[in-house]
Chains A and B, each alone.
Chain A
Amino acid sequence: MSTLDYLGHGFAVALQWHNLLFAFIGVLIGTAVGVLPGIGPMSGVALLIPVTASMTGGLSPEQAAISSIILLAGVYYGAMYGGSTTSILLNTPGESSSVVTTLDGYQMARKGRAGTALAISAIGSFAAGVVALVGLIFLAGPLSEIAIKFGPAEYFSLMILGLAAVSGLAGKSITKALIMTVFGLLLATIGIDSVSGVARFTYDIPVLYSGLEFLTIAVGLFALGEVIKTILERESNDGQLAKITRIMPTKQDLKDSAGPITRGSLLGFFIGILPGAGATMASFFSYIMEKKFSKHPEKFGQGTIEGVAAPESANNAAAGGAMIPMLTLGIPGSGTTAILMGALIMYNVQPGPLLFEEHPQVAWGLIASMFLGNLMLLILNMPLVKIFAKIIETPPKYLIPLIVAISVFGVYAVQYTTFDLMLLMACGVAGYFLARNDFPLAPLVLGLVLGPMIENNMRRALTISNGDYAIFLQKPISAVFLVAAVLWLVVPILMKRRGKKVLVNEEG
């Protein structure tokens, strides 16, 4: 079957009424998650995994996997969109990926053009979603065909490259990022070893035999960590909400932003594919690029529509682009995609080159639903933007305890043990203190998700070579990956030595 046939099937799956409903719920919750300052896309997606798991309980395993991943992906790109709402209206970015949007978005709002700014970012996000979709269609097949030829040694090195890329760009200190990565990998070794059946680090404690559940750790680190931060640091939005008047952009606005949207989408998409460089960097780079391209660079920062259109398209395109390495290679490039991948693994759907052969419904259904979801966002957000803006006013008094209760419910509904609830609480505290001291959390989750796969491939490769570690360097592709991994870590250090500023990705 050709790619277009597969895509047709994908749309057939995505257009089933329950999947439409799931996509709708996903983008709706995602937008709310993006608007609410306390929860980001990572904790939003992590919190919803158990909820979707119970919602899809009646479906067959593959169908359940499709529906859940459609909902969770909807949360992801919905949050990308929702984050811009607070940036524009309140000057406080809901997500780190919309920090740049505050520069011009809030200025536009102060000039009474808040509605236009919101509309342009909705249109930009939609255009970016379409670009990402087209890119996925063209790249997904060929990439997975190349990847399917990889042996265990190549796979091992590729995953090391992925981890190195994420650690090299996450946070201020590479040492700390690497510590978190290795710690995540080590945590993944707890439990019964899937190759030999040997129990490792379990000390005869029954709950440890199945290993530490990735979901518990992710919800604890991200959702509870952020809750604790809000409780301790008394964050509040006292800013004045800007009024929304006219929503539809004028023809001139559309003309001005067509270029930035196209360039931002393309740039964002390619940055999104790179592991480690996520939506935050995409929006930064596209803003800088637009400023260079513009005939009036002095207007940037004073409320020009290009300064909203470009970064907003870029961060949405990056969210789509980040799906590519996750789906085709099985290597998530960011914290959020790592959580999405963990969710797929929970449904026994292994992302990677075989995904498109074994579960074409899941892969193409997701791709098609991303298109539909973006369409829904566009339709939803133009008329409903005023209602979404109201969500910002949700009092934290009710929000914070409810997030705790949802986390507890979510973890218990999947794991059924008090041990996991206690682990959840411990991870929450650890997450807060680690993040506060610049220990990035995304590499830990990435290590936890990738750990078993890295280990299996390493041991398979070593078994082939009879325990000779040189196999990783003798295979040319594998050697290239390893060299790239080393460069990815060393180059930023050298650049810092020379006194250059290195842009880091805070979203992870």
Chain B
Amino acid sequence: MNRTFDRYGAVAFLAIGTLFVIESRKITTSAYGSNVGSDIFPFYLGIILVLLSIRLFYETFRYAKSKPGKEKEKLDYKRFFIIFGSAVLYAYFMEDIGYVISTFVFLLIGFQTMNRGKIWVSALIAAIFSYGLYYLFVEILKGTLPGFPSWLGLS
């Protein structure tokens, strides 16, 4: 049990619950042919969430003191930030630079961050995956994915 996380979590859920309660008051309170409007369900759920988070906050005071030294695991934040950061950029720019190029770049960065070396193998797998999936999905299954950017003049 991580007391700090649970406390912040309780406060966050308290805020979310309050927000839903306040905002649901702005929704119309009746529907056609019924005096039960679309505000009731989120309103009560919001109240329940508020009560539950208060309960969780109260529970955090009763946690046994965590034993020092046991919880400290070394987390690989550097690797996480590189891969996750590139994943976010990949998602954000996918529509602009197209599926094949963005996926290829992301996979290459991902493979190399996980374990440096064998760059040609990585590039080959990334290329096969990104173009293979694109070809399979767009050409054969007639799905839609962002193609190559127009300034490349490929299509």
Give the B-binding residues of A (Cβ under 8 A). Answer: 54-55, 57, 172-173, 175-176, 178-179, 182-183, 185-186, 189, 193, 195-196, 198, 200-201, 228, 231-234, 395-398, 400-402, 404-405, 408-409, 412-413, 416, 418, 421-422, 424-425, 428-429, 433-434, 437-439, 454-455, 458-459, 462-463, 466-467
Complex contacts, B27 vs chain A, CB 8 Å: 198, 200
Complex contacts, B83 vs chain A, CB 8 Å: 231, 400-401, 404
| Pairwise interchain contact A459-B34, C-beta atoms closer than 8 A | yes
| Pairwise interchain contact A201-B20, C-beta atoms closer than 8 A | yes
Inter-chain CA distance A462–B91, complex, in Å, is 44
Tell me whether B139 is interfacial, beta carbon within 8 Å: no
B46-99 residues at the A interface, CB under 8 angstroms: 46, 48-49, 52-53, 55-56, 59, 73, 75-77, 79-80, 83-84, 87-88, 90-92, 94-95, 99
One of B52, B107, B142 near A405 (C-beta < 8 A): B107
| Pairwise interchain contact A438-B106, C-beta atoms closer than 8 A | no
Inter-chain CA distance A402–B27, complex, in Å, is 43
One of B38, B91, B144 near A200 (C-beta < 8 A): B38
Tell me whether B143 is interfacial, beta carbon within 8 Å: yes
Number of contacts between A and B (CB, 8 Å)? Answer: 174
Inter-chain CA distance A405–B108, complex, in Å, is 11
| Pairwise interchain contact B35-A467, C-beta atoms closer than 8 A | yes
**Considering the complex of A and B, which 4 residue pairs feature the smallest CB-CB distances, nearest first?**
A401-B110, A421-B91, A196-B31, A397-B115
Chain B residues touching A, majority SS: helix
| Pairwise interchain contact B145-A55, C-beta atoms closer than 8 A | no
| Pairwise interchain contact B143-A413, C-beta atoms closer than 8 A | yes
| Pairwise interchain contact A196-B38, C-beta atoms closer than 8 A | yes
Which residue of the partner chain B has the closest CB to A51? B137
One of B28, B31, B45, B76 near A182 (C-beta < 8 A): B45
What are some 10 contacts across the A-B interface (CB < 8 A)? A183-B49, A186-B49, A189-B20, A196-B38, A201-B20, A398-B114, A401-B83, A409-B133, A463-B33, A463-B35
Tell me whether B119 is interfacial, beta carbon within 8 Å: no
Complex contacts, B123 vs chain A, CB 8 Å: none
Complex contacts, B33 vs chain A, CB 8 Å: 463
Inter-chain CA distance A398–B110, complex, in Å, is 8
A95 smallest CB distance to B (angstroms): 23
| Pairwise interchain contact B48-A182, C-beta atoms closer than 8 A | yes
Complex contacts, B75 vs chain A, CB 8 Å: 232-233
Inter-chain CA distance A337–B47, complex, in Å, is 28
Chain A residues touching B, majority SS: helix
A297 smallest CB distance to B (angstroms): 33
| Pairwise interchain contact B143-A401, C-beta atoms closer than 8 A | no
Inter-chain CA distance A200–B144, complex, in Å, is 30
Tell me whether B120 is interfacial, beta carbon within 8 Å: no
A394 smallest CB distance to B (angstroms): 12
| Pairwise interchain contact A234-B76, C-beta atoms closer than 8 A | yes
| Pairwise interchain contact A179-B5, C-beta atoms closer than 8 A | no
| Pairwise interchain contact B9-A439, C-beta atoms closer than 8 A | yes
| Pairwise interchain contact B13-A196, C-beta atoms closer than 8 A | no
| Pairwise interchain contact A408-B137, C-beta atoms closer than 8 A | no
B5-47 residues at the A interface, CB under 8 angstroms: 5-6, 9, 13, 16-17, 20, 23-24, 27-28, 31-38, 40-42, 45-46
B19 smallest CB distance to A (angstroms): 9
Complex contacts, A232 vs chain B, CB 8 Å: 75-77, 79-80
One of B16, B42, B88, B106 near A401 (C-beta < 8 A): B106
Query: Which of the listed residues B9, B48, B87, B141 has the most CB atoms from chain A within 10 Å of its own CB?
Result: B87
| Pairwise interchain contact B5-A433, C-beta atoms closer than 8 A | yes
Given A186-B16, A186-B42, also A179-B56 (CB < 8 A)? yes
Complex contacts, B133 vs chain A, CB 8 Å: 409
Tell me whether B135 is interfacial, beta carbon within 8 Å: no
